[in-house]
Structure 1
Amino acid sequence: MKYASASAACALVCVVGAAAQSGTAPEWGQCGGQGWPGPFTCPAGWGCVATNQYYSQCLQGAPASTPPSTPPTSVPGGGSPTTTSSAPSGTATLIPGNSFIRAVEDPNFHKYLQSEVLGTASDAVLGDPSNAAQFQIVSGQLVQEVADGTKLYAVVEGRSDSTVTKLKMSWSASPASGANAGTFMWSGDTVEWSIPTIQRPQLNAWLVCPDTDGNLDVYINLGNYDYQTPAGCADETIHAYTGATATA
C-alpha cells in the first residue's frame, strides 16, 4: 500500500506539472527564455518572439512557434536568471505583496524602475538593481513603496496635441487624478497603461530615453512597439519581478 500511494502521488504531481507547462501565456505575456518554467504557447493569432536568450514574448500577428519539448531549468525565486552584468544586486528584501519592476530588453536589460532622486517625487527612471524600488498596482494607480513607509504615485504628463508620440512618467506624493490620470494594470507580469482619450496600438509599449545627465527617463509609448522609435530612445516592455532581492 505504501508503494501504491507513492506511485499515485507521483502520477498526480506529474499530471499537474505537465498541465502547468502546457498552458497558454496571456497576450503580451512571457512565453519563453532561459530559465522560464512555462507556459510556452501563445493565444490563437499570437506568436512567441524571442527578444534575447532570456526573454520571449507573445506578440500579436507574429508567426506561431513550437514550445520546447522539455522546459529549461527553473530559476529559484522566479523570473530570468542573472547575467554577467557588473551592476550590483539589490540588498532590500521584497515586501510581501509588492513587486520589483524591470526591463528585459537591451540596452536596458535588468534595469529597475525607481525615482531619479531615490524615494522622492521626481522623474521615473530605470537604474541599477541596488536602488530598485518596490511597487503595487492599486485601483489603477502604480504605487511606489518608499522605505520610510510613505507612498509615491506614478503620474503621466498630458498629451498637448496629436503629434506627440511619448508621454513622460514621474512620481508624485498625491495619487494621479483628472483627465490625464489613466489606468495602470497588469497583463500577466507586464505593466500596461491606458486612458480613454488616447487609442494606443499596444498598451504595454514603453520608451526609455536618456536625458542630458544620462538618467534613463521612462515614457509611455503612444505608437507601435519597435516601430518609428524616437531618436535616442529604446523600446521597452517592463515586467514584475518577485525574487527576494533585485538581481542584475
Structure 2
Amino acid sequence: MKVVVALLATAGIAFAQTAPQYGQVRAFLRLMWSGATTCPSGWTCTVSNAYYSQCLPGAATGGSSPTTTATGGSSPTSTSASATGPTPTLVSGWSFIRAVEDPNFHKYLRSEVQNQPSTAVLGDPLTAGQFAVASGQLVQYANLSASTPLYANVQPRANSTVMKLGLTWETTPDEGGGTFVWSGDTLEWSIPTISRPQTNAWLVCPDAAGNLVLFINLGAYAYMTPTGCADETIHAYTGPYPTS
C-alpha cells in the first residue's frame, strides 16, 4: 500500500490532508496552499481573515470539505434580488461595497446571479456581496466551500469613443485588465492604456430588467453623463451588517 501511495504522489495526484486541532487549513485567497484542507472530526474550519483559516472546536463532519464560518459571525447568506432572508454578516478581512449618493444611496455591489459568474450590479442590503482587493484584483467572497473565488473582469475598450466599461464576475483573474486599489475607503480602477479624469468615477445604468448595472466611467464625473445613468463613487463599508 505504501508503494502505491508513493507512486501516486510522484505522479502529482494530491491527497486531502487533515490539519491538527487548532492547525491552519486552506484560506480562501491562498488557493495555492499546499497544506491541510480538512479539519478533524468535531472541528470546524474557521476564517480569521481573507488569508488565514484555522481548525477550531465545533461541529464538523470529518473527511468532508471544510465548513467555513467567520469568527464573530456566519458566512454570507446567498440570496436573490427579491430575498427576505437573514441579513449578511461581514466576514473578517472583507468589505461590503456600496454607493453613497442618490439615486443609488446604499445600494450594494454584488453579482447579478447571486454568488455566480455574471454581471456586476448594485442591489439591496440583503443581497450585498463581500469583497477584497488582492494583487490589484477585485475579489468577491462568493462561497468559501467552492474551490474558486470570483474576480471582477473589466470589458476591454473597443475604441476611443467608448466611455464606459462593464464588469463581470468570473472564475479567472483579469490578467492585464487594469488595477483595483483602495484610496481611503473609495474603490478606484486604472490601466496604463487609458487616461481617466478621475480613477474613482463609476456609472450605474439600469438595464431593461431593472438591474442596476455598474460601469467604470472613463469620462469626467458628473459631466456628459450617459442618458439613463447616474454618476457614483463606491466605497468600502466594514460595519457588521449592510445598512439601508
Structures share fold, TM-score greater than 0.5: yes
1:190 corresponds to which letter in structure 2?
T
Partners of 1:102 and 1:112 within 8 A in 2? yes
Q: What aligned pairs does 1:50-65 form with structure 2 within 5 A after superposition?
A: none
**Which of the numbers 157, 160, 163 marks the counterpart of 1:159?**
157
What is the deviation of 1:149?
3.7
The residue aligned with 2:204 is 208
1:199 corresponding residue in structure 2: 195
Structure of higher RCO (CA pairs closer than 8 Å, 6+ residues apart):
1
Q: How far apart in 1 are the matches of 2:100 and 2:240?
A: 18
Q: Distance in 2 between matches of 1:120 and 1:163?
A: 31
The secondary structure found in structure 1 opposite 2:118 is coil
**How do 1:20-99 and structure 2 match up within 5 A?**
91-99=87-95
Alpha-carbon distance between aligned partners in 2 of 1:229 and 1:210, rounded to the nearest angstrom? 14
Matched residue, 1:103 = 99
- Mapped partners of 1:149, 1:209: distance in 2: 32
3-state SS, counterpart of residue 123 of structure 1: strand
> Is this contact kept in 2: 1:141–1:183, CA < 8 A?
yes
Q: Which amino acid aligns with 2:199?
A: L
Q: Which runs of 5+ in 2 are unaligned?
A: 1-82
CA offset digits 1:26-75 (Å, max 9, x no partner): xxxxxxxxxxxxxxxxxxxxxxxxxxxxxxxxxxxxxxxxxxxxxxxxxx
SS of the equivalent of 1:169 reads strand
Q: How far apart are residue 89 of structure 1 and its match?
A: 9.5
Please give the residue correspondences for 1:127-166 in structure 2 after superposition, counting only pairs within 5 Å. 127-150=123-146, 151-166=149-164
TM-score scaled by structure 2?
Answer: 0.64
Is the contact between residue 90 and residue 132 of structure 1 (CA under 8 Å) also seen in structure 2?
A: no
Tell me if the contact between 1:142 and 1:184 (Cα under 8 Å) persists in the aligned partners: yes
- For residue 240 of structure 1, report the CA deviation from its aligned partner: 0.2
Paired residue secondary structure (2:161): coil
Structure 1 spans left out of the alignment, 5+ residues: 1-86
CA 1:90 to 1:141, structure 2 compared with 1: closer, same or farther past 3 Å?
Answer: farther
Counterpart-to-counterpart distance in 1, 2:104 and 2:230 = 8
Rounded Cα–Cα distance in structure 1 between residues aligned with 2:221 and 2:185: 17
Please report the RMSD computed on the Cα atoms of aligned residues, expressed in angstroms.
1.5
Identity %, equivalent residues = 64
One-letter amino acid of the structure 1 residue matched with residue 221 of structure 2: Y
Distance (whole Å) between structure 1 residues aligned to residue 85 and residue 231 of structure 2: 24
Shift of 1:145: 0.2
Question: Aligned pair 1:217/2:220, yes or no?
Answer: no
In structure 2, what is the equivalent of residue 17 of structure 1?
none
User: 1:91, CA displacement in angstroms?
Assistant: 1.5
State the SS of the aligned residue for 2:126. Answer: helix
- Return the alpha-carbon distance in structure 2 between the equivalents of residues 135 and 141 of structure 1: 10
The number of residue pairs the alignment matches comes to: 160
Shift of 1:187: 0.3
Cα shift readout 1:184-226 (whole Å, capped 9, x = no counterpart): 0000000000000000000000000011101000000001110
Q: 1:120 aligns with which of 111, 116, 128?
A: 116
* 1:238 and 2:234 matched: yes
Separation of aligned partners in 2, 1:194 and 1:132: 24
Paired residue secondary structure (2:169): strand
Give the C-alpha shift of residue 169 in structure 1.
0.8
Specify the alignment match of 1:186 in structure 2: 182
Structure with a larger share of its residues in helix: 1
Residue 218 of structure 1 aligns to which amino acid in structure 2?
A: L
Distance 1:149 1:102 in 2: 25
